[in-house]
A and B are shown apart, each in its own frame.
Chain A
Amino acid sequence: MSETLKNTTQPIVRMQQLNKHFGSLHVLNDIDLTIVPGEVVVIIGASGSGKSTLIRCINGLEEFQSGSLVVDNNELLPHGKSTQALQTIRTEVGMVFQQFNLFPHLSVIDNVTLAPMKVRGLSRDDAVSNAKRLLDRVGIADQADKYPSQLSGGQQQRVALARALAMEPRLMLFDEPTSALDPEMIGEVLDAMRELAKEGMTMVIVTHEMGFAREVADRVIFIHKGEITEQGHPEKLFDSPQHERTQSFLARVLKH
């Protein structure tokens, strides 16, 4: 997507001076972040830097104390005081979790059809055919009748991706989607995400996979102690980081 087009598009996420505290801990400190449709943003940083908390604010899984946050034209208020907007945002924003969080008592197909049927009001037939198409797209169509516990970690995470996509989200959040996976399964999940990025999905990804970040990101954001220290195009940020903290972080993670 060209820069000019991006600049004229209405942002899908607009975060201004967002602050969050956990007791005395200042987890997010005056965060300003604007994301436009089609953009793939990767957030990196040490554990405990606030990167997961940041994306969890976008769909209201975390409350914030001050600042403003507008997601897809719905304003989220501080202290979680916006039930209706929150509900709308959650139907428009999909999320993939580190621990997959598939529903263990439901088969793969039921995991994927639950929300479209209960939230969007789709008929069972429509939801199932839609789910099968999505499972096929992430390469696990033949596992539809199994239960999550019968699948490998990589397969489970791909089901989780299909489940989120079944709501036809306008924005996808990924919270360390490969961190709980065995090394040999990371590739299959990243491949599915890469496909999604190619199709133009707006994505915000928290990850430690720097190679992947460099390849798919339009923009990489480095967070340190709840503040955006530096951000920019992946080549610029990875090859010539300006800030000392970014340099030392990258030196540590890229070494191995």
Chain B
Amino acid sequence: MDVNFQFDWSAAFGSIPYLLPGIPWTLLISFGGLAIGFFIGIFFGLLRISRLRWLRWPAIIYVEVFRGTPILVQVLFIFYGLPQLLGGPINALVAGIAAIAVNSGAYISEIVRGGVQSIERGQGEASLSLGLSRTQAFRYVIWPQAFRRMIPPLGNQGIISIKDTSLFSVIGVGELVRQGQIYIATTFTALEVYFMVALMYLAITWTLSIILRQLERRGLAGQ
């Protein structure tokens, strides 16, 4: 350890104006990707619990493929690989959002499946015995309860996806880590800058945690 090293606070604070522009990109990729991933997740999650085997299989394959491969490989595949197939370049932002979407979608479909399957069998039986159709039973009885149970794992996935966007510095999208790297290239203050980058991720994820806790508290009030 270099005992003479001093943490340079002015370098740390000095990097803030250069890092801040990365935050909107990080948020845009995370929440854009998560919003799409949420619908992908509901779609495949519901397919996964279908009574029809030929509907379950595509969902199983989807989850295994996108959960079983690294997100870094996924984004490289989309950004560098797909253009060869499509015959034109893909915007780095679009590639980042797509990677988060397909990746979080796989995890969210498992969250959806778990949430729905965690609802006691008797809930569906009571609904059917009252004359509700399967669709009505799902819509009015199963889903509202399942969704409440899904909030904590969904929040977890949100935080994971936000951090995953840091990998997208490799495709040159100007998110937080990329902004930091560019700044460090001219100042050589890696310790201070990465420290600030970490703090900014923490600020984002912590805010999300607080919002989720509020949501959970309100959501569970009726139970």
Contacts and interface: CB of A to CB of B under 8 A. Distances in A.
Nearest to B126: A101
Given A97-B122, A101-B122, A105-B148, A119 B223 contact: no
Interface in B198-223: 222-223
B132 A61 contact: no
Given A114-B140, A119-B132, A164-B130, A97 B223 contact: no
Contact of A119 (B125, B126, B131): B131
A224 interface: no
B160 interface: no
Contacts, number: 70
Interface string B111-137: 000000000101101111111110010
Given A147-B222, A149-B223, A105 B145 contact: yes
B141 to A, nearest CB: 5
B141 A103 contact: yes
Nearest to B220: A105
Interface string A155-169: 000001001100100
B144 interface: yes
Interface in B36-74: none
B223 A114 contact: no
A115 interface: yes
B140 A94 contact: no
A118 B129 contact: no
B152 to A, nearest CB: 16
Contacts of B125: 61, 97, 101
A102 B127 CA distance: 9
A217 B178 CA distance: 78
B129 A94 contact: yes
Contacts of A231: none
Contacts of A103: 123, 126-127, 141, 145
Given A99-B122, A105-B145, A114-B140, A90 B222 contact: no
A95 B145 contact: no
Contact of A167 (B123, B128, B130, B141): B130
A147 B223 contact: yes
Contacts of A60: 128
A90 B136 contact: no
A93 B129 contact: yes
Contacts of A104: 145, 222-223
Nearest to B223: A104
Contact of B133 (A87, A101, A106, A114): A87
Interface in A107-126: 107, 114-115, 118-120
A115 B126 CA distance: 10
A49 interface: no
A202 interface: no
A102 B126 CA distance: 8
Q: Which of B120, B126, B131, B140 has the most CB of A within 10 A?
A: B131
Contact of B129 (A90, A105, A107): A90
A236 B141 CA distance: 44
B143 to A, nearest CB: 10
B128 A90 contact: yes
A164 B130 CA distance: 7
Contacts of A91: 130-131
B116 to A, nearest CB: 14
Contacts of A246: none
Given A105-B144, A105-B148, A114-B140, A95 B129 contact: yes
Closest 10 CB pairs of A and B: A91-B131, A101-B126, A115-B130, A101-B122, A95-B129, A119-B131, A90-B131, A105-B144, A105-B145, A104-B223
Given A114-B132, A119-B132, 20 more contacts: A61-B129, A90-B131, A97-B122, A97-B125, A99-B122, A101-B123, A101-B125, A101-B126, A103-B127, A105-B144, A105-B145, A105-B222, A106-B222, A114-B140, A115-B130, A118-B132, A147-B223, A163-B130, A164-B129, A164-B130
16 contacts: A61-B129, A90-B128, A91-B130, A94-B129, A95-B129, A97-B125, A99-B120, A101-B122, A103-B127, A103-B145, A104-B222, A114-B132, A147-B223, A164-B129, A164-B130, A167-B130
Interface of B: 120, 122-123, 125-133, 136, 140-141, 144-145, 148, 222-223
